Copies of this chain bind each other. A is one copy, B any other.
Amino acid sequence: GKGNDLVELAEAAAALEPAETARLILGLRPRRARVLLTLLDDTPSLRVLQALDPSVSDVLLDRDQQARIAKIVAKLPVEEAADFLAESPRDLVEVTLEALGQPIDLVRALDHRNETAGALMRRRLVAAPLDWTIAQVIDKIREQSDRIDRLYAVYAIDSERRLHGYLKIRDLLLLAPETQVGDVMHRDTIMVSAGMDRAEVARIADRAQLPVLPVVDSELRLLGRVTTDELRAIDRAEAEEDMKLMSGLAPDSSAADGPLRIVPRRLPWLAAGLIGSGTAAFVVGSYEDALAKAAILASLIPIVMSMAGNAGIQASTVTVQAQASGGFWIGDLGGRILREIGGALLNGLIVGILVALAIVGIGEFIPIERPFDLGLTAGLTLVAVTTQAATIGALIPVLLERLGFDPAVATGVFITTSNDVMGVLIFFLIATAVYL
C-alpha cells in the first residue's frame, strides 16, 4: 500500500545524501513528504531540513513535526542548534525555543544572527599567538584537523586575542619550523567588524579578492571569520532582495507564505500603486466629455499604459543593477540619459508606426472615425510616452540613491506612479490636439 512504499522510500533515503533526499521531497505531496520525514532518524531528518529551502520546511513542518524537531534540537550543542535554527522558518524557531523554555544562551546566539558580519560569522578558525613557532602552529592544526574542514589562513593574535596579521597556508609549507609567527606574518590584514552590514562585507571581499575575511570586535579582537559559503549566500540574498523590492514584495516574502503573511508582505505595494493609478483615473475622468464624444479613445489606454510601464521598468532595471554592482558611472549620467532618450525614441517610433498602421488597417474592416488621425494620435503618444518613461526610469533610481533611499525599494512605486499618470496625461493632451 501507500504507507509501505514510503517505508521503502525512507530506507532508500537512508543511503542518500541529505541534499538528494531533499530533492526527492520536492517531488512529493506535503502529506507524503511529512510521513517520509517522520520515518527518518533524528540526525538525518535535521540534515534533510537543512538542505531544504526554509520556505519548504515552513510548509513541511506541521505542529507534530515541529515538536519532534524541537526535541532533536534540544540535544544539540548551543552553536549547532543556533546554526540550525538560524536557517529555519520562524515558526519552527518559535516552537523550538518555547519547548526548550527559552534558554538564554540559545536566544542570545540567535539574536546575534541578523544581517551583520557577526551574524554570518563562523567561529571555527585557527588562531596562533605571535610568539608561537611555525612548528607549534602545524601541531595545533594537526590536533584540530577533525574540527577544521577547510583552511585558508592562520590568524596571528596577541594575548588579548587582538588580530595583528595572518599567515597563508602556503607559508606553513615554505617557512622554517623554528621561525616565530610574529616575525614572518603578513601585516596587511583586511578585516571586517562584527557590526558591519552584510552587503558591505561582500563588497570588501570582492575588492580584496579574498575568499575568507576575519571578523573583529571594536577593539580589534578576533571573533571569527566569514567564509566563501557565507559570501555566496550574501550575494544571493542581496540579488533576491533587489528583485523582490522592485517587484513590490517585502524582502522576507517567500513561496511558502500563507494568506495572512501575503497581506502584510504585498498589500503596502499594491496600496502604493493606487496613488499612481488613482491619479491616472482622475486624469481620465477629467476627459469624460472627450471620451463621451470619442469612446474609441478609451481602447488606446491599455496600450499606452502597458508601453509606459514596460519601457520604464527596462530603463530602471538596468540602472538599479549597475548601482547594485557598484558599476554605475555617476559622472556619465548626462551621457546615459541621452543614450536612453535616443534608444527610447527609436523604440517608440517603431512601435508607434506599427500601432498607427494597425489602426489604419483595422479601419478598412471595422468602422473607425478618422482612422488616420487616430493612428497619428497613437503613434505620437507612444513615441512620447516611451521616451518619458525611459528617461524617468533611468533618473529615478539615481535621485533616490542621492537622497539616501534604497533605489530598489522606492523605484517600483515611483516609476509606476509616474508612468501611470504621465502616460494617460500625454495621451489625452495629444488626443485633444490631434483627434478631437
Contacts and interface: CB of A to CB of B under 8 A. Distances in A.
A302 B280 contact: yes
B170 A270 contact: no
Interface string A14-34: 000101000101111110110
Interface string A56-87: 10010000000000000000000000000000
A278 B303 contact: yes
A233 to B, nearest CB: 9
B276 A306 contact: yes
Interface string A401-434: 0000000000000001000100010000000000
A174 interface: yes
- Judged by DSSP, the binding face of A is helix
Nearest to A206: B232
Contact of A310 (B253, B343, B416): B416
Contacts of A332: 29-30, 56, 59
Interface string A288-320: 110110011111111101110111011001110
A59 B329 contact: yes
A141 interface: yes
Interface stretch (A38-46, A97-105, A117-125, A237-245): A237-245
Contacts of A307: 270, 273-274, 277
Interface stretch (A4-12, A155-163, A334-342): A334-342
B244 A317 contact: yes
Interface stretch (A108-116, A178-186, A218-226, A261-269): A261-269
Oligomeric state, in number of copies?
Answer: 2
A145 to B, nearest CB: 6
A255 B322 contact: yes
A142 interface: yes
A430 to B, nearest CB: 16
Contact of A281 (B257, B299, B342, B350): B299
Contacts of A201: none
Contacts of A288: 295-296, 298-299
Nearest to A349: B263
Given A271-B351, A291-B291, A347-B270, A277 B255 contact: no
Contacts of A343: 257-263, 266
B311 A309 contact: no
A178 to B, nearest CB: 16
Interface string A190-221: 00000000000000001101010000000000
A400 interface: no
Closest 10 CB pairs of A and B: A262-B343, A53-B327, A259-B342, A239-B239, A277-B306, A280-B302, A291-B295, A247-B317, A285-B299, A298-B298
Given A151-B168, A259-B343, A271-B354, 6 more contacts: A53-B327, A145-B174, A274-B303, A277-B302, A292-B292, A292-B295
